[in-house]
Chains A and B, each alone.
Chain A
Amino acid sequence: MNNDREAILKRVGEAVGGLADRTPYPSFRNDLGVSTARSLDGDLWEIFCERFVAVNGMPVETPDAMVEYLKTFGYTHGYCDPALRESLAPFFDSGFTLEESFDRQDIDRYQFGITRAHAAIAETGSVVVTDRLTSSRLAALAPWVHIACITRDEIIRDTVAAVADLGDDPNVVWITGPSKTADVEGILIEGVHGPGIQICLLL
């Protein structure tokens, strides 16, 4: 393997070593990839909501509204991050079962998963999930409904700021709507491997 390393680096060096004029790194604004068509000025939660809905996400402003939604559709058994339990448990009535650990032997037992998100991106309608804040990768992925919780001051304006905010967490995921595919005849189906319903709850 080490031989391969030396050989590859040697071949790369030979391939580019003789180039007379190497293309310089171009100069461009950090936000070149951010659309200029729609304004990002104003209340970032409002902008996030609009974009999140556009990718079939579901923003929810109060725990009451979230519980109401879960009840209406019969999602009564789920996982809740232990760190959120104290603040959210009072909103659930006795018809619900909330678990604080996620049993990987029986992942289909959980109809929903409530986890803490790190941030949300207004520009793209994405929630940002990090390894350090998410209590369980599986709980934020396997249940049909995922509820990612953020506070108002955690909303980031655009992908440039979100990239700058990646930090040293080993695993950051931007989730832009429910899991989806169009592999079969180009027809859009949601809920392929991950959630079919992606909620963002404002704490």
Chain B
Amino acid sequence: MKSQPIDTYASELAEDVRRAVADGSASGYDRRAASLFSDFEDPDFLRRTAGDVKQHTLENLDTYLAQTEDRLKENGVEVHWAGDAEAACRAVLKIMRDNGATKVVKSKSMATEEIHLNDFLEREGIESLETDLGEFIVQIDHDHPSHIVKPIIHKNRQGIARSYEREGLGAYDDRPEVITARARKFLRKKYLEASVGLTGANFIVAESGRLVLVTNEGNSRFCLAGTDIHIAVVGIEKVIPRDRDLSLFLSLLGRSATGQQLTVYTEFISGPRAEGQPDGPRQMHVILLDNRRTEVLASNCRDILRCIRCGACLNVCPIYRQASGHAYRSVYPGPVGAVLSPLLAGEKFSELADLPKASSLCGACKEVCPVNIPIPDLLLRLRDKAKHEGIKSPGTPPMGGWAYLASQPTVWRASLSAGRLMNLMPLNLIPVPALRAWTKSRQLPEWRGGAFRKWMKTRKIGGKDS
């Protein structure tokens, strides 16, 4: 019997990577929690409200998308629509070709990771350079980000210093301040050589057409200070209705992602540079990306589209902490990825149908989610979808026996008592492969079958004497 793919990946993870991911995701938890719980009397109300705003927007997305397009155009922005990854990549290329542009500087964007824009542009002979420090290191290593907010959480400074040495960015020096300063020196030349600054968007406001971008490093600001053309690739679920929503969302995003009241650079962009401003893009393009978001919207998992990509659910997830982001074999890791990735995979759903099963359903992800996404419920819906489509995932223990017992009350009662025998048995020696694979890394609690029924029977109604 094979293990679940995510278990296999976790068991083969190098010890230093496991430690880096476990420490990196756990660190800052107190700061993030304190920034919500000490700053607000009822932080839960904030996230429920933010969740309702996004759910409302999604359920009325037809209206809000049309409004967004109108406002963008009024602001002097060119709007493009991309049904899938290929169309989005082509749209970027066309804008570049039309303007004779050959170099792009990019700020961090999950949407462009999703459409594999860098690979596409490279094949077309265009230099596309990541400027977020973590993404830059991922790019020179031909690696993939393993966390939404901390892309190189799986790397340590020694490895980075070796990569720098290999790429001619300087002799081996693993001090973080040196690693940062070398990137600063290298990238500031690139910002000024490139003619296109490419970004994603954290939010796009329907009533004003404002695109909101947050970074701590200031790299997206630099992308939009040195270049002539701004292209933003934005998922259609990024829309929020009004400017007034921004105070709430920015407050939650900074706190949930990094424990900051606000991210350092919060940019509100509603068009090409102002008259008289010497720096920054003269053209602005927004590419509105579907890439199966409308399929998710039509499904019973549409709540996942509320996600504002803060990474909080990754940080608290016991599976993510042990397995690291690459174990999810997709662009979006962690609990949000376990829901979103299989859905975005479309006809390849079956290849990622094991991800929703790689969860103990502990609910930590839902508790920290700033937009209150019921992730455990959505995981169950996807398990159900896989079941109905007859997709079998390796490493999932067969549940047929349990289903039989659970549907026969007498047999069930008998087996509850008989189950006590399990406390006496050395389970790891039982020659049932499924059981052995399961118990290899897990322990069953002591069997107490029937205790609850006994308690229920002796409990008096009203509960006073119980």
- List residues of A whose CB falls within 8 A of some B CB: 1-2, 4-5, 7-9, 11-17, 19, 22-26, 28, 30-38, 55, 102, 104-105, 107-108, 123-124, 126, 130-132, 134-138, 141-142, 158-160, 163-164, 166, 168-187, 189, 191-195
Contacts and interface: CB of A to CB of B under 8 A. Distances in A.
B25 to A, nearest CB: 10
Interface in B135-164: 137, 150-152, 156-157, 160
Contact of A23 (B27, B55, B236, B278): B55
A23 B184 contact: no
Contacts of B310: none
Nearest to B258: A182
A16 to B, nearest CB: 5
A160 B267 contact: no
Contacts of B127: none
Given A1-B80, A1-B91, A179-B218, A32 B261 contact: no
B24 to A, nearest CB: 6
Task: Tell me what chain A mostly uses at the interface: helix, strand, loop, or mixed.
Answer: loop
Contact of B225 (A11, A137, A185, A189): A137
A137 B279 contact: yes
Given A9-B65, A30-B244, A193 B20 contact: no
For this complex, into which size category does the number of interface residues on chain B fall? 35 or more
Contact of B62 (A4, A7, A12): A12
B146 to A, nearest CB: 12
A8 B288 contact: yes
Given A33-B248, A163-B246, A181 B262 contact: no
A130 to B, nearest CB: 8
Contacts of A130: 274
A9 B278 contact: no
A141 B225 contact: yes
A179 B217 contact: yes
A159 B226 CA distance: 28
B39 A181 contact: no
B374 interface: no
B188 A23 contact: no
Contacts of A176: 260-266
A70 B381 CA distance: 61
Interface in B33-57: 38-41, 45-46, 49, 52-53, 55-56
A11 B294 contact: yes
B133 A181 contact: yes
B458 interface: no
A4 to B, nearest CB: 4
B157 A36 contact: no
Interface stretch (B173-181, B328-336, B346-354, B432-440): B173-181
Residue of A37, A142, A195 with most chain B CB atoms under a 10 A cut-off: A142
Contacts of A175: 264-265
Contacts of B280: 131, 137, 171
B243 to A, nearest CB: 5
Interface string B241-278: 10110111111100000101111111111111110111
A24 B49 CA distance: 11
B238 interface: no
B247 A5 contact: no
Contacts of B252: 33
B216 interface: yes
A184 B294 contact: no
A61 B221 CA distance: 27
Contact of A173 (B28, B160, B266): B266
Contacts of A195: 218
B262 A159 contact: yes
9 contacts: A9-B62, A9-B65, A12-B65, A15-B298, A104-B279, A137-B278, A163-B247, A166-B268, A189-B177
Nearest to B60: A22
A56 to B, nearest CB: 10
B32 interface: no
B180 A192 contact: yes
B83 A7 contact: yes
A142 B222 CA distance: 8
Contacts of B188: 107-108, 142, 193
Nearest to A187: B176
A186 B153 CA distance: 8
Nearest to B297: A15
Given A170-B75, A185-B156, 20 more contacts: A8-B236, A16-B58, A55-B260, A102-B278, A104-B226, A105-B192, A124-B261, A141-B225, A159-B250, A166-B268, A170-B76, A170-B272, A174-B262, A176-B264, A176-B266, A179-B265, A184-B133, A189-B176, A192-B180, A192-B216
B268 A172 contact: yes
Interface string B106-135: 000000000000000000000000011110
B133 A183 contact: yes
